[in-house]
Chains A and B, each alone.
Chain A
């Protein structure tokens, strides 16, 4: 069987799984190539927090033996992936959980990590994230090393875009999968709240936190979601709904699909959105129409207060979740982390209850809209990646206090996916966001897949 024509680190999961299944590519060869890639570029990117090279190679050898004996587990078997530090990985420190970087090691894998292992994926290690208790070099955007990746799944965005892993797990509380996916030119999926277990995920906001895949192409996200989704009796918020084979329902057109565009909300965000981004996203929506979709304007009035409601719930729950550490963190933690503590402290119960009532209204309005449309389409980001110099330590927190494109769908708990839709004149990625009704990740993935197959922005690679 012919060897792949491109460097191994440029393979998608879909491409690699075909080669591995046919025994044209060894998991050991693939993992070794990625470890070499990490060695070659990560000193500039700072994507990895803790690399588990020995574990990865041992898992790769085990995967190879299994496959050679005819025991092929599925599309993730032998595929090297990595996870955001927020997810527990057995034997490695969970730095987000402790001030001390030599903190006690996790005693078991998070459920989502365990499920990736059961699917045969190879675990490369833990990836950087924003707002760790200790100040560490922040990951660089592979498209332009002077620019940020967006957070808080910063390392996941950089690693997938630069080919340091074939897929990653991120986590999204107020846009933290979709934001770096947009800025790094990759696909990021925030599943429905309750679709993926939160067991072993360090909490930021209990009723918002959602773990999901970050990959280069949509079909890879479908593979990863199928592996990690499902009921977990050890997570009280996990929902017992069957997990479909998401990759089996991907289609290459949008015939019969109705796409809703919340124009008044986009207008509400216009003053804080780069005009070039708006133009490019509008063009992407036109391309969806060319693929057969019917595009309609929809109204979701509560979107205008949804971002601040999400922030209120996030900061209040975050303060409570870290109550025992807050005194220490206020003395020693980084700027953004300390700010979040003060914001949580300033939030009282009537604020939290009002935010939860807004949440109910938002869900009702979205449910009504989804009686008429299959998915929503809107921008995945307000602007291309800024430089580190342009970025203040509190910028993200200020953004959480005004209407935006991402946080409302954390508040509503809906599945939301960002897919690359263009590049700016400065060659920086721009993303389209697609949102579905609860537990309809299949519709979101299928629409994103159809768009990506036509637009093919994923074929461009960062210069690193």
Chain B
């Protein structure tokens, strides 16, 4: 796993109060590095003026169970 990915992962795990399995660092290293690179591609994509669409309908209220 690349150093910056590992450092980010350990910091995030600490913040979440989760202990990493040390053997997972090696096991998932390539996958997590690939994901980090894919995130760079994600952010490089020009989305123009696109917004996030509404993910809820405020006129809806949940019925009482």
Contact surface of A with B, Cβ cutoff 8 Å: 207, 233-234, 236, 302, 305, 308-309, 311-312, 326-327, 330-331, 335, 338-339, 342-343, 345-347, 350-351, 353-361, 363-364, 394, 397-398, 401-402
Q: Which residue of A lies closest to B16 (CB)?
A: A345
**Which residue of B9, B43, B53, B57 is within 8 Å of A345 (Cβ)?**
B9
* Bound form: Cα–Cα A20–B24 in Å: 54
Among B18, B19, B41, B51, the residue within 8 A (CB) of A357 is B51
- Distance, CA A397 to CA B53, complexed state (A): 27
B39 adjacent to A351 (CB under 8 Å): yes
Q: Which residues of A contact B32 (CB under 8 A)?
A: 342-343, 346
Q: How far is the CA of A163 from the CA of B20 in the complex (A)?
A: 43
Contact B50 A357 (CB under 8 A): yes
- CB of B41 to closest CB in A, whole Å: 6
Interface of A is mostly: helix
Inter-chain residue pair count (beta carbon < 8 A)? 102
Task: Enumerate chain B interface residues (CB-CB to A < 8 A).
Answer: 5, 8-9, 12-13, 16-21, 24, 27-28, 31-32, 34-36, 38-39, 41-43, 45, 47-48, 50-53, 55-57, 60, 62-63, 65
Neighbour of B50 across the interface among A234, A326, A339, A358, CB < 8 A:
A358
- Contact check: which of A311, A326, A345, A358 meets B47 at CB < 8 Å? A358
* Distance from A237 Cβ to chain B, minimum over Cβ atoms (Å): 9
Tell me the bound Cα distance from A331 to B20 in angstroms. 8
CA distance A338 to B9 in the complex (A): 13
Tell me if A363 and B53 are in contact (CB < 8 A): yes
**Known contacts A330-B21, A351-B39, A351-B42; A345 and B28 CB within 8 A of each other:** no
B24 to chain A, nearest CB (A): 6
Select A236's contact among B16, B51, B57, beta carbons within 8 Å.
B57
Contact residues in B for A347 (Cβ distance below 8 Å): 39
In the complex, the answer to whether B53 meets A346 with C-beta atoms within 8 Å is no
The 5 listed contacts between A and B (C-beta, < 8 Å) are: A311-B35, A343-B31, A346-B36, A354-B42, A355-B42
| B residues near A360, Cβ cutoff 8 Å | 47, 50-53
- What are the residues of chain B within 8 A of A355 when measuring CB–CB? 42
Chain B residues with CB under 8 Å of A302's CB are 45
Which single member of A312, A346, A356 contacts B52 (CB below 8 Å)?
A356
Q: Is the CB of B51 within 8 A of A343?
A: no
A335 contacts which chain B residues (CB < 8 A)? 27
For residue B54, give the distance in angstroms from its CB to the closest CB of chain A.
11
One of A233, A305, A327, A398 near B18 (C-beta < 8 A): A327
